[in-house]
Amino acid sequence: MAAGHPGDAVPIYRELLRAMPDNPGLTLNLGLALDMSGDKRGAIREYQAVLKLDPQSFPARLLMGTAYLDLGQPSDAIAPLEESVKLQPENLDAQATLADAELALERFGAAAARFEKLSQQDPSSPKVWYGLGACYEGLAQKSFDELTNVAANSAYWLYLVAESRYANKQTYSAFYFYRQALAKMPSLRGVHAALADIYRQTDHADWASVEEQKEKDLPPPDCAAEMLECDFHAGNFLAIVEQAGKDSKTLYWKTRAYNQLALSAYDRLGRLLPSAETYELRARIESKRRQYAQAAKNWREALQLVPGNPAFKRGLAMALAQSGDLQGA
């Protein structure tokens, strides 16, 4: 095991258990050896055997939940992970793994609350910041879906579509939707500024100046009537997302606030010291944004630190294929 050959340890543990049957420590070690050698289902059977011998075994519950997650069965992971958290409430690994399972099941609110707490306890963890960002992205999508049901093709809806297209570097599509939003609500703040950015990117500085002036000419929000907008510009994003309203304006500002919270979490991830894990998570973020060339660059950085890692190589191959480099893939 210490030499990194868990598969070779499996028959030795089995032999030891024949000599000392019903030993929870050896059974746990056999499960771990199977787990590390890739036999997740075999490992789960051993963890279950440990719990029959020692129902209070924290490692067996945590490792079982992790193995279910690795198998892509988060619903089966929840119960053992919740039990592990009950046994050791302050254990950060247990809390983080349970948050991962909740995220996989799209229980974004519960997972975000757990990741928020973990971000204060362990701010150097890349997985915490990535998980928090993914939760807020999920909550932003749910809020946007609610807005779609309430007011599809409204100025608010069109602005958010434009913002999403612009973030994914779909400049011309974003321009079209910003213009549509402006036609429906000329007083909507932020649209002229966004159009100015697009004009500058496309070498139309004169048109950009016109849009910037139009943005300046708009009156500032009346914070008594436009509290959510004022909170947004003040950075009070958590206060916004706690609003219970389901009207189009509230859902618009909630979606934008969730997006900003996601960006903030990903920014914290980006500022952590480079490691294979941070490069891996950055690659996943870039892939979600469809920035596949940038994702490939991050996968390569991860492989520099852990050469030959099969998961990193698979990620790189997929990013290269999606970016059009089929020969490289």
User: Has residue 228 been placed in a domain?
Assistant: yes
Alpha-carbon 7 to chain mean position: 32
User: Has residue 124 been placed in a domain?
Assistant: no
Asked whether residue 164 falls in the same domain as residue 212, the answer is yes
Asked whether residue 87 falls in the same domain as residue 186, the answer is no
* pLDDT value of position 191: 96
pLDDT per position as a tens digit, 15-36: 999 999 999 999 999 999 999 9
% of the chain residues with pLDDT over 70 = 100
Mean pLDDT computed over 141-161 = 97
Asked whether residue 277 falls in the same domain as residue 263, the answer is no
Q: What is the mean pLDDT of the chain?
A: 95
139-149 as b/e: b if 16+ CB within 10 A:
bbbbbbebbee
Cα 317 to Cα 327: distance, rounded to the nearest angstrom: 10
Q: Which of 16-20, 249-253, 305-309 has the lowest mean pLDDT?
A: 305-309
Query: Degrees (nearest 5) of the Cα angle 219, 222, 223?
Result: 140
Instruction: Specify the number of domains making up the chain.
Output: 3
Asked whether residue 81 falls in the same domain as residue 194, the answer is no
Asked whether residue 25 falls in the same domain as residue 42, the answer is yes
- Encoded amino acid at 315, one letter: G
Mean pLDDT computed over 256-261 = 97
pLDDT per position as a tens digit, 176-209: 999 999 999 999 999 999 999 999 999 999 999 9
Asked whether residue 191 falls in the same domain as residue 228, the answer is yes
User: Has residue 82 been placed in a domain?
Assistant: yes
User: Has residue 113 been placed in a domain?
Assistant: no
Give the domain range for residue 296. 273-322
Tokens read off for 213: 């002036």
Query: Degrees (nearest 5) of the Cα angle 189, 174, 178?
Result: 30
